[in-house]
Amino acid sequence: MSESVILVNSTGNKVGTCEKLQAHRHGLLHLAFSLMVVRKTENGFEHLLQQRATDKYHSGGKWSNACCSHPREGENLDSAVKRRAFEELGVTHLSNPEYIGAMTYKAELDNGLTEHEYDHIFVQYCDNDTLPLAPNPDEVCATRWVNESDIQAELTHSPQRYTAWFAELLEKFIAARNVKAPSNA
Protein backbone atom coordinates (compact mmCIF):
# COMPACT_ATOMS: atom_id res chain seq x y z
CA MET A 1 0.00 0.00 0.00
CA SER A 2 1.41 3.36 -1.06
CA GLU A 3 1.38 6.03 1.64
CA SER A 4 1.08 9.75 1.12
CA VAL A 5 2.46 12.63 3.12
CA ILE A 6 0.96 16.08 3.57
CA LEU A 7 3.01 18.75 1.81
CA VAL A 8 3.25 22.05 3.68
CA ASN A 9 4.70 25.51 3.22
CA SER A 10 7.32 27.06 5.51
CA THR A 11 4.68 27.97 8.09
CA GLY A 12 3.25 24.43 8.23
CA ASN A 13 0.09 25.07 6.21
CA LYS A 14 -1.04 22.31 3.87
CA VAL A 15 -0.36 22.85 0.17
CA GLY A 16 -1.06 19.34 -1.13
CA THR A 17 -0.19 15.67 -0.78
CA CYS A 18 2.45 13.45 -2.35
CA GLU A 19 3.44 9.79 -2.31
CA LYS A 20 5.84 9.37 0.63
CA LEU A 21 8.86 7.97 -1.21
CA GLN A 22 8.52 10.58 -3.97
CA ALA A 23 8.50 13.35 -1.33
CA HIS A 24 11.73 11.94 0.11
CA ARG A 25 13.34 11.55 -3.32
CA HIS A 26 12.67 15.20 -4.14
CA GLY A 27 13.18 16.67 -0.66
CA LEU A 28 9.67 18.15 -0.52
CA LEU A 29 8.67 19.84 2.73
CA HIS A 30 6.06 17.69 4.46
CA LEU A 31 4.27 17.36 7.77
CA ALA A 32 5.72 15.05 10.42
CA PHE A 33 5.74 14.48 14.16
CA SER A 34 8.22 13.19 16.68
CA LEU A 35 7.43 11.65 20.05
CA MET A 36 9.96 11.73 22.83
CA VAL A 37 9.34 9.47 25.83
CA VAL A 38 11.12 10.72 28.94
CA ARG A 39 11.35 9.76 32.58
CA LYS A 40 13.01 11.56 35.45
CA THR A 41 15.37 9.55 37.64
CA GLU A 42 17.67 10.44 40.49
CA ASN A 43 20.40 10.89 37.85
CA GLY A 44 18.37 13.28 35.69
CA PHE A 45 16.28 12.72 32.60
CA GLU A 46 16.36 9.48 30.65
CA HIS A 47 15.04 9.13 27.11
CA LEU A 48 13.55 6.07 25.50
CA LEU A 49 15.49 5.58 22.28
CA GLN A 50 14.67 3.22 19.47
CA GLN A 51 17.04 1.72 16.96
CA ARG A 52 15.33 1.79 13.60
CA ALA A 53 14.95 -1.57 11.87
CA THR A 54 17.90 -2.15 9.57
CA ASP A 55 15.72 -2.58 6.48
CA LYS A 56 13.79 0.71 6.85
CA TYR A 57 13.77 2.74 3.64
CA HIS A 58 16.15 5.24 5.23
CA SER A 59 18.26 5.60 8.37
CA GLY A 60 18.08 1.86 9.07
CA GLY A 61 19.95 0.76 12.19
CA LYS A 62 20.31 4.30 13.53
CA TRP A 63 19.22 5.36 17.01
CA SER A 64 16.49 7.97 17.37
CA ASN A 65 13.69 9.25 19.56
CA ALA A 66 10.92 6.91 20.70
CA CYS A 67 8.72 7.34 17.64
CA CYS A 68 8.36 9.53 14.56
CA SER A 69 6.24 9.47 11.44
CA HIS A 70 3.73 11.38 9.33
CA PRO A 71 0.04 12.06 9.97
CA ARG A 72 -2.38 10.76 7.36
CA GLU A 73 -4.74 12.95 5.39
CA GLY A 74 -7.58 13.98 7.74
CA GLU A 75 -5.85 12.58 10.85
CA ASN A 76 -5.14 14.97 13.72
CA LEU A 77 -1.66 14.98 15.22
CA ASP A 78 -2.70 13.52 18.60
CA SER A 79 -4.29 10.53 16.90
CA ALA A 80 -1.29 10.09 14.59
CA VAL A 81 1.14 10.09 17.53
CA LYS A 82 -0.89 7.45 19.37
CA ARG A 83 -1.31 5.34 16.20
CA ARG A 84 2.43 5.27 15.49
CA ALA A 85 3.39 4.67 19.13
CA PHE A 86 1.29 1.51 18.87
CA GLU A 87 2.52 0.53 15.38
CA GLU A 88 6.21 1.01 16.22
CA LEU A 89 6.48 0.28 19.95
CA GLY A 90 3.31 -1.63 20.79
CA VAL A 91 2.30 1.09 23.26
CA THR A 92 -1.43 0.78 23.74
CA HIS A 93 -1.96 3.90 25.83
CA LEU A 94 -0.29 7.28 25.92
CA SER A 95 -1.80 9.47 28.62
CA ASN A 96 -1.54 12.96 27.13
CA PRO A 97 1.63 13.67 25.19
CA GLU A 98 2.63 17.30 25.68
CA TYR A 99 3.09 19.41 22.57
CA ILE A 100 6.30 21.44 22.86
CA GLY A 101 6.57 23.08 19.44
CA ALA A 102 7.76 22.45 15.92
CA MET A 103 10.98 22.54 13.96
CA THR A 104 11.82 22.45 10.29
CA TYR A 105 14.88 20.62 9.08
CA LYS A 106 16.35 19.29 5.86
CA ALA A 107 18.87 16.46 5.77
CA GLU A 108 20.46 14.36 3.04
CA LEU A 109 19.99 10.68 3.88
CA ASP A 110 21.17 7.34 2.58
CA ASN A 111 19.65 5.80 -0.56
CA GLY A 112 19.60 9.19 -2.32
CA LEU A 113 16.75 10.44 -0.15
CA THR A 114 16.22 13.79 1.57
CA GLU A 115 14.23 14.30 4.73
CA HIS A 116 12.61 17.76 4.71
CA GLU A 117 10.08 18.00 7.48
CA TYR A 118 7.92 20.43 9.37
CA ASP A 119 8.10 18.35 12.52
CA HIS A 120 5.67 18.74 15.44
CA ILE A 121 7.29 17.62 18.70
CA PHE A 122 5.49 15.79 21.50
CA VAL A 123 6.79 14.54 24.85
CA GLN A 124 5.33 11.76 26.96
CA TYR A 125 6.60 11.82 30.55
CA CYS A 126 6.32 8.50 32.33
CA ASP A 127 7.37 6.63 35.43
CA ASN A 128 9.70 3.65 35.26
CA ASP A 129 7.10 0.96 34.65
CA THR A 130 4.15 2.84 33.18
CA LEU A 131 4.93 2.27 29.52
CA PRO A 132 5.06 -1.42 28.59
CA LEU A 133 6.74 -1.90 25.21
CA ALA A 134 6.25 -4.55 22.52
CA PRO A 135 8.35 -3.21 19.60
CA ASN A 136 7.39 -4.18 16.07
CA PRO A 137 10.51 -5.83 14.53
CA ASP A 138 9.58 -4.40 11.10
CA GLU A 139 10.03 -0.93 12.60
CA VAL A 140 12.41 -1.27 15.56
CA CYS A 141 15.57 -3.36 16.18
CA ALA A 142 16.02 -2.41 19.81
CA THR A 143 15.03 0.06 22.50
CA ARG A 144 16.97 1.44 25.44
CA TRP A 145 16.64 4.05 28.16
CA VAL A 146 19.61 6.44 28.11
CA ASN A 147 20.54 9.29 30.43
CA GLU A 148 20.42 12.65 28.66
CA SER A 149 24.08 13.46 29.39
CA ASP A 150 25.15 10.09 27.95
CA ILE A 151 23.14 10.81 24.79
CA GLN A 152 24.83 14.19 24.43
CA ALA A 153 28.25 12.54 24.80
CA GLU A 154 27.35 9.90 22.18
CA LEU A 155 26.10 12.62 19.80
CA THR A 156 29.45 14.40 20.18
CA HIS A 157 31.62 11.31 19.69
CA SER A 158 29.51 9.19 17.31
CA PRO A 159 26.84 11.33 15.64
CA GLN A 160 26.62 8.86 12.73
CA ARG A 161 24.93 6.36 15.08
CA TYR A 162 21.88 8.66 15.28
CA THR A 163 19.26 9.83 12.80
CA ALA A 164 19.85 13.16 11.08
CA TRP A 165 17.07 14.90 13.02
CA PHE A 166 17.72 13.59 16.52
CA ALA A 167 20.34 16.07 17.79
CA GLU A 168 18.16 19.07 16.90
CA LEU A 169 15.11 17.36 18.36
CA LEU A 170 16.93 16.79 21.64
CA GLU A 171 18.01 20.45 21.72
CA LYS A 172 14.38 21.55 21.22
CA PHE A 173 13.26 19.30 24.07
CA ILE A 174 15.94 20.64 26.43
CA ALA A 175 15.10 24.25 25.52
CA ALA A 176 11.36 23.66 26.10
CA ARG A 177 12.04 21.91 29.42
CA ASN A 178 14.22 24.80 30.58
CA VAL A 179 11.41 27.24 29.82
CA LYS A 180 8.71 25.23 31.59
CA ALA A 181 9.46 22.40 33.98
CA PRO A 182 7.08 19.45 33.48
CA SER A 183 4.45 19.17 36.16
CA ASN A 184 4.49 15.37 36.29
CA ALA A 185 8.17 14.58 35.79
Domain ranges within the chain, ordered by starting residue? 4-179
Question: Stretch 15-24: mean pLDDT, rounded?
Answer: 96
Active site (catalytic) residues: 68, 117
117 carries a ligand binding annotation? yes
Distances (CA, A) of 65 to 4, 73, 112: 22, 24, 23
**CA geometry: angle 27, 32, 36, nearest 5 deg:** 130
Q: What is the pTM of this model?
A: 0.92
Q: Is 30 annotated as a binding residue?
A: yes
Residue 182, pLDDT above cutoff 70 = no
Task: Say what the pLDDT of residue 94 is.
Answer: 86
Q: Is 75 annotated as a binding residue?
A: no
Superfamily of the domain at 4-179: Nucleoside Triphosphate Pyrophosphohydrolase (3.90.79.10)
Contact yes or no for 32/58 (Cβ under 8 A): no
* pLDDT score at 130: 67
Give yes or no for residue 137 having a pLDDT over 90: yes
